[in-house]
Copies of this chain bind each other. A is one copy, B any other.
Amino acid sequence: MTERAKKYASSTDVARLAGVSQSAVSRTYKPGAKVSEETRSKVLKAAAELDYRPSLIPRIMLTHRSNLVAIVIGGMYNPFYAAVLERFTVGLQDAGNQVLLVHADSGHSLDAAIPKLASYRVDAIVSALAILSPRSADELARFKIPVVSFNTPVRNEWVSSVCCDNVGAARALADLMLTRGGRRFGCISGPTASPASDERLAGFRTGLAMRGIEDLVTATADFRYEGGREAALRLFAAPRHPDALFCANDLMALGAIDALRRDLGLRVPEDVMVAGFDDIPSAAWGAYELTTFLQDGRRMVDEALAILKTAATAHGPVGDVAVDVPARLIERRTTQREPA
């Protein structure tokens, strides 16, 4: 559109001013290259005068590496994902990469964003989308870019996954709630498209079944506080309501607790036990003290970064790795109840 004025000085400009060749300038900025002190100082002086910053763009063309890593994320309203994003960013920056942030709230918007990423020649993609179908994953593989799927167990030649042990954790929670005297069980799950939520629900159900309990009332919500609140109101409208409620994430659990206490006048944990998943900071807040599972975000991110590092040095595809990080039960007040 508008003719862009030349904005940055080039190495040629610097070379001209310093009275040396362009190669000399380039070598001045390459650590360990052969440049005499005299040349170096002439170059640096000219560079300072022209405010020269070497551009990385031509280097990308030459080396086919951009040192850009894309993070695709949706749902930053959930502090767990905000924290994960922060850790990824810090970790990647420390490793000398830059982070390209992409917001996608659906598989559809993801499909639209990926070609852009390919055009920017990103070295790798991290997907921290709750919703990522195997079909989308196969679509991703066509771009021949290493992908790490965070918390969604899709895998193929180019896609690896780092997940937490949702099933095992939820099963353990069923045990705990039974031990604490739970009799009638309820569950608020996430959107149906979410594999993590599915696994948590399935694990909870299995845990109950192993102790001979088949009865479980469920409601579906959207992973948010308000959704959890409304789902709890629906679930507890019936006369014989649950006395032990598992929510597929902490935000919904907090919403459910407020619904129970403030709208329905029930006591937590005396009348109803509640547990969540993630261990976001507010789960520990004095007003709630929510029992939950610590998804070890730090460790999961580290595992993902390790995979990316491998992918960076490898030449071909390096996918199909699946790492499972265990979740740790954090029991707080919302399940602390004397067995009846």
Contact = CB atoms under 8 A, between A and B. Distances in A.
Contact of A101 (B89, B144, B313): B89
A115 B52 CA distance: 10
Nearest to A90: B103
Contacts of A262: 286-287
B2 A313 contact: yes
Contacts of A71: 101
A178 interface: no
Contact of A102 (B85, B93, B258): B93
A225 B76 contact: no
Copies of this chain present: 2
A57 B121 contact: yes
Contacts of A258: 285-287
A51 B103 contact: no
Contact of A116 (B6, B66, B85, B98): B98
Interface residues of A, number: 65
A326 interface: no
Given A71-B101, A79-B82, A90-B103, A53 B287 contact: no
A264 to B, nearest CB: 11
A57 B55 contact: no
A261 interface: yes
A121 B225 contact: no
Contact of A100 (B90, B100, B286): B100
A257 B288 CA distance: 13
Contacts of A113: 93
A144 to B, nearest CB: 7
B83 A76 contact: yes
Interface string A77-94: 101001101100110010
A334 to B, nearest CB: 12
Interface in A1-26: 1-2, 4-8
A113 B96 CA distance: 11
A61 B60 CA distance: 11
A4 B65 contact: yes
Contact of A77 (B51, B66, B82, B99): B82
Contacts of A55: 61, 119, 121
Nearest to A53: B118
Contact of A51 (B61, B98, B144): B144
B57 A60 contact: yes
A142 interface: yes
Contact of A285 (B7, B121, B225): B225
A36 interface: no
Residue from A54, A113, A142, A285 having most chain B Cβ neighbours under 10 A:
A285
Given A55-B121, A93-B113, A98-B102, 10 more contacts: A55-B61, A55-B119, A76-B82, A77-B79, A93-B103, A98-B100, A225-B282, A258-B287, A261-B286, A262-B286
6 smallest beta-carbon distances between A and B, as pairs: A258-B286, A287-B287, A101-B101, A82-B82, A53-B118, A262-B286
